Amino acid sequence: MRIWIRRIRACKYSRETIRKTFGDGNTATVIGYPRPATVEGALFVNGVLVRSLDMNDTYIGTEPLHPSEVLPTALALCEENGRTGRDLIEAVVAGYEASMRVNDAISFIERGFHPLCAAAYGIPLIAGKIWGLPKEVVANAVGISGARGFTSFVVNSGAISMVKAMGLAATAADGVFATRLAAQGFTGPSGTLEWLASKMKPSKEGFAVDLELARYRLPRVAFKRFPIQIELQAVAEAGASLSAQMKGRAQDILAITVETYPGIIGRVAEPTKFRPQTKGTADHSLPVCLAMALLDGDVTAVQFEKDRWRAQDVMVLVEKITVKPGESLIAKLSKGRGASVEIVFADGQSLRETVEVPEGDAERPLSRASLERKFTNFAVPVVSNVGAERVMSLVDGLEELKDVGELTRVLRGAGKQNPA
């Protein structure tokens, strides 16, 4: 069975390009490869992998953000510098909290940028924390990174290309470079967020980032059950439930109506999502993901690997789907991610399933068993059953781990000697 990193062309292309750009290295791990790489190579390729798998977590502030995309940076830097598991935890918390607090303070999407821009302010804190840099140096690193870290939201619009997967990985590499510059004495501007808030429409007065440490954002992070866009989790869950109730009557379906939130509709049910041409568009398509859930009883990474979303029976069902705002959902939870799906059959019978809070949401967390199953489904092909169990054991005891390298060595697995 091929390992996941080989199944994703964006990772292959990234790995080959990074090797030519940065050369060989021996300080950081690329997941699934025994041979170590440079820090920049590892954090970039692993970052592309994290985003490509579409199983990353989500924080909803002014808009959806995937804070788990900062993990490859913290992991690579801790490995290179021989840091402990506790150091890794602290660095991850710094990156998460900074990114999420910026996300709370300002909408990048409203200004034409991607929410991942928030990480431009979190990555230098990760590097600064691991390297033990003075706060003045870190402030300059944040200024350098923040002034450069703007990614257009076009990466998630229309037909989605591979650039979606490298958005934060590129921001992270640039943020680490910015911190290296600042450590040498390079200075950066202050007030980059304030400038953005006041100069770019819609302008925002009285801009401020909440720095109160007593109010952590981490408990509000949501996990995904399905490897698709976070706002499709409720639709897929409803579809999987209805699949069991349909009892093989898919060919008798006359019409399918989905009710959800207007903002969600604009992102996952626009015209291009009804006829996706790429995997990146398909896993952000409400009609396609719902059709697969109804037909197969689940939405999995294997379906996307095998181009299930292109199948005729999926496309036939897609054509029967209409999407509209769900007034009752909005009235009950004004800022939710729920959905209601109604199926009408040719004989006039109907089925309806409503999921107000999807499994994995901070208000309805995944169980330990669900998390382990999600992890092992992806990890076993890369690091084996024994390796997957070892990774979970090390993560359980991460706070006491003396050397992060013990964890990353297991993550290398037994793949081909093909460095980043």
55 band by pLDDT with thresholds 50, 70 and 90 = confident
Give the fold, CATH level 3, of 4-223+372-411: 2-methylcitrate dehydratase PrpD (1.10.4100)
414 band by pLDDT with thresholds 50, 70 and 90 = low
In Å, how far are 76, 122, 137 from 186, measured between CA atoms? Answer: 23, 19, 9
Tens of pLDDT along 243-278?
999 988 999 999 999 999 999 999 999 999 999 998
pLDDT at 219 (0 to 100)? 94
Residue 108 in contact with residue 114, Cβ under 8 Å?
A: yes
User: What homologous superfamily does CATH list for 230-355?
Assistant: 2-methylcitrate dehydratase PrpD (3.30.1330.120)
pLDDT at 172 (0 to 100)? 98
The single-letter code of the amino acid at 203 is S
Cis upstream peptide for 202 (omega within 30°) = yes
Q: Which range has highest mean pLDDT (8-22, 167-181, 404-418)? A: 167-181
Q: Which range has highest mean pLDDT (155-159, 207-211, 290-294)? A: 290-294
pLDDT at 13 (0 to 100)? 81
Question: CA–CA separation, 85 vs 105, rounded Å?
Answer: 30
Tens of pLDDT along 342-395?
999 999 999 999 999 999 999 999 999 989 988 998 899 889 999 999 999 999
pLDDT at 1 (0 to 100)? 35
Question: CA–CA separation, 121 vs 167, rounded Å?
Answer: 14
Q: Give the distance, in angstroms, between the CA of residue 107 and the centroid of all CA atoms in the same chain.
A: 18
Phi, psi of 337, deg, nearest 5: -130, 25
Does residue 292 or residue 13 have the better pLDDT?
292
What mean pLDDT is predicted for residues 145-158? 91
Tens of pLDDT along 302-324?
899 899 999 999 999 999 999 99
What mean pLDDT is predicted for residues 170-180? 97
416 band by pLDDT with thresholds 50, 70 and 90 = very low
What is the chain's mean pLDDT, rounded? 92
420 band by pLDDT with thresholds 50, 70 and 90 = very low
Note the pTM of the prediction, 2 decimals: 0.85
If DSSP states are collapsed to H, E and C, what string results for the chain? Answer: CCCHHHHCHHHHHHHHHHHHHHCCCCCECCCCCCCCECHHHHHHHHHHHHHHHCCCCEEECCCEECHHHHHHHHHHHHHHCCCCHHHHHHHHHHHHHHHHHHHHHCCCHHHCECHHHHHHHHHHHHHHHHHCCCHHHHHHHHHHHHHHCCCEHHHHCCCCCCHHHHHHHHHHHHHHHHHHHHHCCCCCCCCHHHHHHHHCCCCCCCCCCCCCCCCCCHHHCECCCCCCCHHHHHHHHHHHHHHHHHCCCHHHEEEEEEEECHHHHHHHCCHHHHCCCCHHHHCCCHHHHHHHHHHHCCCCHHHHHCCHHHCHHHHHHHCCEEEEECHHHHHHCCCCCCEEEEEEECCCCEEEEEECCCCCCCCCCCCHHHHHHHHHHHHHHHHHHHHHHHHHHHHHCHHHCCCCHHHHHHHCCCCCCCCC
19 band by pLDDT with thresholds 50, 70 and 90 = confident
10 band by pLDDT with thresholds 50, 70 and 90 = confident
pLDDT at 418 (0 to 100)? 40
171 band by pLDDT with thresholds 50, 70 and 90 = very high
For residue 258 the two structure tokens come to 């989905």
Structural domain boundaries in the chain = 4-223+372-411, 230-355
Question: CA–CA separation, 65 vs 59, rounded Å?
Answer: 5
pLDDT at 161 (0 to 100)? 86
Q: Give the distance, in angstroms, between the CA of residue 243 and the centroid of all CA atoms in the same chain.
A: 27
Phi, psi of 233, deg, nearest 5: -65, -45
pLDDT at 159 (0 to 100)? 77
Question: CA–CA separation, 355 vs 226, rounded Å?
Answer: 14
